[in-house]
Amino acid sequence: MILENSKYFDLLKQSKIEVSFGSFFFFVNFVVSKLKEGIHFVWIIVEKVTSTITDYNGEYFKVGYNYKRIDLYSINQQL
Give the pLDDT confidence score for residue 14 in this predicted structure.
84
Of 36, 35, 41, 33, which Cα lies nearest the Cα of 74? 41
Tell me how many domains the chain contains. Answer: 1
Give the pLDDT confidence score for residue 73 in this predicted structure.
60
Residue-range definition of the domain harbouring residue 38: 3-75
Taking 50 as the pLDDT cut, the residues of the chain under it are none
Give the pLDDT confidence score for residue 45 in this predicted structure.
79
